[in-house]
Amino acid sequence: MALIDLQKITKTYQSESVAVEALKGIDLRVEKGEFTMIMGSSGSGKSTLMNIIGCLDKATAGHYYLDGEEVAGFSRNRLADIRNETLGFVFQSFHLLPRTTALENVQLPLLYSRKDLSWKEIYRLAEEALERVSLKDRMKHTPNELSGGQKQRVAIARALVNKPNVLLADEPTGNLDTRTSLEVIELIQNLNENGLTILMVTHEPDIARYAKRTVRLRDGQIENDEYHDPLPASKALEELIHDKSETQNEEVVS
């Protein structure tokens, strides 16, 4: 059974005068353990698709089965629990609370959780999540004291703290430079190697090479869907650092 099973999903945004058909019949199955990249140019429907998969928005028509159950039948409470615990979300602009430490940001989903956790447990789980993204030493910092890459790692820790089945990342590297992007992708690849199912959006063809599968959207439809051998981000990172130090050496010589 597929973890995510979308059948003939459509989404129409209706404003006063115009209707925008953002998704025009999407059929997509994602199995446990996949690392899928959703690609496509701006406006092709990537975020709309992610928001539906993430239960942040509802399809206009079609069926969405999450782990075998149709999402349309879920109560509001059930949906809230799923958003908080089954799915982890990461966005391009981090969506961290300002003036709130990394630790507190990561603790938030635990506070909303229905699990009856003690403060001690909440602290320990948040600390553990920050450790997974190598940020334990920055956990008392607020977002404005962190770099873009560090902010995204805090957001990833927050997404992971409730141990979700799926990580959904909508252009998580969109605000990051090449090296920092690769570091974030390296982290996402590690999470996937440890069994986490990943769905990530990008509009950059370069980035898609790091996933195991690429689904290309065009005008609200799947244009192409293929599996491929992923490039290890760690290797690309090493090469980048090596190239940089070579150029620096040349500069010193000349």
Can you give the binding site for ligand ADP, defined by CB under 6 A?
A: 13, 15, 20, 22, 40, 42-48
Closest distance to Mg ion from the beta carbon of 133 (Å): 23
Kindly tell me which of 14 and 77 has the beta carbon lying closer to ligand ADP: 14
Separation CA 121–CA 58 (nearest Å): 34
- Which entry of Mg ion, ligand ADP, none binds 122, CB below 5 to 8 A by partner kind? none
Q: With contact defined as beta carbons under 8 Å apart, do 64 and 70 qualify? A: yes
Q: With contact defined as beta carbons under 8 Å apart, do 138 and 153 qualify? A: no
- Which entry of ligand ADP, Mg ion, none binds 20, CB below 5 to 8 A by partner kind? ligand ADP
- Which entry of Mg ion, ligand ADP, none binds 161, CB below 5 to 8 A by partner kind? none
Kindly tell me which of 17 and 42 has the beta carbon lying closer to Mg ion: 42
Closest distance to Mg ion from the beta carbon of 206 (Å): 18
Among residues 56, 84, 70, the alpha carbon closest in space to that of 165 is found at 84
- List residues binding Mg ion (CB under 5 A): 46-47
Closest distance to ligand ADP from the beta carbon of 78 (Å): 24
Separation CA 129–CA 48 (nearest Å): 28
Kindly tell me which of 56 and 237 has the beta carbon lying closer to Mg ion: 56
Q: With contact defined as beta carbons under 8 Å apart, do 27 and 83 qualify? A: no
Among residues 62, 32, 36, 55, the alpha carbon closest in space to that of 224 is found at 36
